[in-house]
Structures are given as C-alpha cells and as structure tokens.
C-alpha cells in the first residue's frame, strides 16, 4: 500500500495547530522538519509538493546524493552525529547543523566554513536525559561550550537540540523538553555576544505534541510522514 505523504503531512500540521493552541502559541512559530533517512528522492519530492521546505538527514554521504538529485530551493539540516572529519562536507551541504556537541567539532566546522566563504547556522545538541547511548553535551557543560563557540566567526549558534528517551507514554518525555527550554532560558540570561537562542529542536513522531507544548520551535518528523523504514 502506497504511503499518502501529502495526507500524512496534512494530519501532522493539524496536530501542530492543536498543540500550539493548547500552549497559547501560534502555529507559525513551529517549523516542521521532515526526516528523510533512507527516504527516496521521489518521496522527498512528494513532501516538497505538499509544502515541506525543511529536510533533515543523519548521514553526510546519503545527504550528498539526495541533495544532488533534488535541485530545488529547500533547506537541508544535519540532525545526526557528525564526525569531525566530515566537517568539510557538512559545511557545503547543510544550512543548519543540529548536532554540535563538542568544541573540536565546532572549531573544525568554523575552519571549513571559513574556507568555503559560508556562515553556518548551528544548534548545540544537549543530552538532557544523561543516557550513555545518546550523543550530546551534558546540560551542565552546555553554557561553557556555547561561550567558546561564540568566538567562532563562521558559526552562528541559533539554539539547542535534544532527543528525549524512547518512552511508551509521550507525556513522560515532558520533563526532558522542559529541561531544554529552561536551559535555553538560562543561556539567554547569560547575554553571550552573538548567541541567538530562538530555536529549540525537539520532538519526533511519538512525542512532538508534548515538545510543542514545552516550547519546541522545530519538530523532526520521519515515520509519521514517510512510514516505517524498511
């Protein structure tokens, strides 16, 4: 049975509107990022036709092939773990990198971005749950990392990203999302020059409504748009 991508996107947008209303926010303040890991260019094209303009990839090589195949003016976001030796490719491919979680990666991105003449938007990935299996800097160390990154001429910190634990009840993810929002607020109060904390990238297929209620500005949706990965 063929997946009706346009219908799925319409349903998700309706759920975003409802979640925004519950939290007294405007739907326009929430961006829908379609996660396209293992998704074909044909399916991505259908999502573009349905109005999606932001796409997230987990791997540099896979993204490189898709970006070359899809010649449209859309945003590409790196949302997976990024190895330092892939920085030279990432700065050419992506408009946003969500997964900056260490200073050596930030410095390499800054250096490679300078060579390409680009300024790259980045989010700092924070491991709010403390799970050893997850990437991301510990919340207690995030401010120091951001202070260091703020000195990078070719990187622009736009906010934070996190992944909540996989939980049977989406409501149980709420404390992790509120923790990221509180961290964002604390960083904002620091008044670090050149740092902009407008984005909170959090919430996926199973928990994005709770994330919106806790302040998400970007929700990363894959399965609810494209179906289960093969």
59-85 tens-digit pLDDT: 999 999 999 999 778 999 999 999 999
Q: What are the chain's domains?
A: 5-226 (3.20.20.10)
Residue 203 φ then ψ, to 5°: 100, 130
Contact yes or no for 122/109 (Cβ under 8 A)? yes
pLDDT higher than threshold 50 for residue 164: yes
State the average pLDDT for the chain.
95
Task: Identify the pLDDT of residue 1.
Answer: 39
127: left (phi over 0), alpha (psi -120 to 50) or beta: beta
Residue 25 confidence class, pLDDT cut points 50, 70, 90: very high
Using one digit for the tens of pLDDT, what is the confidence trace for 92-140?
999 999 999 999 999 999 999 999 999 999 999 999 998 988 999 999 9
Distance from C-alpha of 47 to C-alpha of 63, rounded to nearest angstrom = 16
C-alpha 118/C-alpha 110 separation (Å) is 9
Structure-block tokens of residue 185: 């607020």
Share of the chain above pLDDT 90, in %: 93
**Is a pLDDT exceeding 90 seen at residue 228?**
no
Inter-axis angle of helices 5-22 and 41-49, to 10 degrees?
Answer: 50
Q: Which token pair is 204?
A: 């996926």
CB atoms within 10 A of CB 85: 9
For residue 2, pLDDT over 70 is answered with no
Does residue 28 surpass a pLDDT of 60?
yes
What pLDDT shows up at residue 197?
96
Question: Is the pLDDT assigned to residue 189 strictly greater than 50?
Answer: yes
Q: Cα(81)–Cα(134) distance, rounded to whole angstroms?
A: 10
Name the helix (H) or strand (E) containing 158: strand 155-161
């Amino acid at each position: 049975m063929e997946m009706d991508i346009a219908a799925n996107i319409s349903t998700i947008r309706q759920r975003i509107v409802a979640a925004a209303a519950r939290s007294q926010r405007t739907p326009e303040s929430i961006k829908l990022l379609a996660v396209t890991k293992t998704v074909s260019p044909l399916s991505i094209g259908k999502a573009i036709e349905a109005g999606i303009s932001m796409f997230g990839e987990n791997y540099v090589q896979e993204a490189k092939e898709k970006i070359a195949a899809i010649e449209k003016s859309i945003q590409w976001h790196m949302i997976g773990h990024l190895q330092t030796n892939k920085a030279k490719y990432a700065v050419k491919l992506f408009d946003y990198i969500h997964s900056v979680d260490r200073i050596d990666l930030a410095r390499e991105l800054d250096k490679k971005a300078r060579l390409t003449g680009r300024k790259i938007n980045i989010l700092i990935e924070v491991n709010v749950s403390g799970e050893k299996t997850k990437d991301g800097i510990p919340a207690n160390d995030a401010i120091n990392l951001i202070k260091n990154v703020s000195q990078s001429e070719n990187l622009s910190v736009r906010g934070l990203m996190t992944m909540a634990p996989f939980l049977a009840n989406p409501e149980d993810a709420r404390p992790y999302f509120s923790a990221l929002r509180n961290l964002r607020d604390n960083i904002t109060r620091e008044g670090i020059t050149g740092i902009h904390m407008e984005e909170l990238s959090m919430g996926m297929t199973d928990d994005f409504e709770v994330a919106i209620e806790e302040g998400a500005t970007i929700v990363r949706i894959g399965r609810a748009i494209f179906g289960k990965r093969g």
